[in-house]
């Protein structure tokens, strides 16, 4: 049952023996990732090659974690049909209301095919850009014993960066899997990665999966 493009690469960090890594998948939902979705902050309608690449890398990250018995937590933005739970203090939230995106129970709010949670994984719903704000996300991660997060999702400069900065502020070691993220322009994506490099380790999905494999191997010995 389900419960509650390129920045300078840094060396893969050596984890401490006590570290426990959790993958945080942010907003892999139809409205923000599918070609027919309504939100274009992370991908424009004509970015089919980029979309396919992100879906492939995201799938590799999630599959890599699950194959090694590592926890995955999915964060989803979801709003009431009438938009009454959206605070309209800025353009992004006013646009959520006016465009009717990410309405709970709709196709647009559902996870993109192949990138949703599997049975037994935690799913956290939230109503702000920051998946931690007003949600049980931190509680879930502490329950899982997480000390390090691998974060990926849509979009790099918005939901991913919000989550990465919040996670760093509350003490998590943060990795961002850069090629499983995207923004509507390459420049925005790269600028966000460069900005996050002070609070997170930026690496490819392949390197992130290698971190998971190393931790899994240590746990078996």
> Binning pLDDT at 50, 70 and 90, where does residue 41 land?
low
**Would 182 be classed as within a structural domain?**
yes
| pLDDT over 60 (residue 208) | yes
Q: Which two tokens stand for residue 131?
A: 């998946």
**Would 1 be classed as within a structural domain?**
no
Query: Residue 178's domain spans which residues?
Result: 21-219
Residue 153 phi, psi dihedral angles, 5° rounding: 155, -160
**Would 68 be classed as within a structural domain?**
yes
**Would 13 be classed as within a structural domain?**
no
Structural domain count, the chain: 1
**Would 8 be classed as within a structural domain?**
no
| pLDDT over 70 (residue 14) | no
- Tell me the CATH number at 101: 3.40.50.850
Whole-number pLDDT of residue 44: 64
Average pLDDT, stretch 104-118? Answer: 95
**Would 130 be classed as within a structural domain?**
yes
Q: Which strand (E) or helix (H) includes residue 126?
A: strand 122-126
d(CA 174, CA 194): 14
**Would 141 be classed as within a structural domain?**
yes
The answer to whether 13 touches 208, Cβ cutoff 8 Å, is no
Whole-number pLDDT of residue 218: 87
Whole-number pLDDT of residue 2: 40
């Amino acid at each position: 049952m389900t419960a509650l493009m390129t920045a300078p690469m840094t060396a893969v960090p050596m984890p401490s023996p006590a570290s426990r890594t959790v993958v945080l998948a942010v907003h892999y939902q139809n409205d923000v990732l599918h070609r027919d979705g309504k939100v274009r902050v992370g991908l424009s309608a004509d970015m089919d090659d980029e979309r396919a690449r992100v879906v492939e890398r995201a799938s590799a990250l999630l599959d890599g974690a699950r194959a090694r018995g590592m926890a995955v937590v999915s964060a989803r933005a979801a709003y009431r049909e009438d938009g009454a739970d959206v605070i309209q203090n800025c353009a992004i939230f006013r646009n959520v209301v006016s465009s009717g995106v990410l309405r709970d129970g709709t196709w647009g709010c559902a996870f993109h095919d192949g990138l949703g949670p599997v049975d037994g994984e935690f799913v956290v719903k939230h109503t702000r850009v920051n998946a931690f704000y007003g949600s049980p996300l931190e509680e879930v991660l502490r329950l899982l014993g997480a000390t390090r997060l691998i974060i990926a999702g849509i979009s790099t400069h918005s939901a991913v960066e919000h989550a990465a900065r919040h996670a760093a502020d509350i003490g998590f070691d943060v990795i961002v899997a850069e090629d499983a993220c995207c923004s509507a322009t390459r420049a925005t994506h790269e600028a966000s990665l460069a900005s996050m490099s002070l609070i997170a380790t930026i690496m490819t999905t392949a390197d992130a999966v290698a971190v998971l494999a190393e931790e899994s191997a240590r746990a078996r010995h």
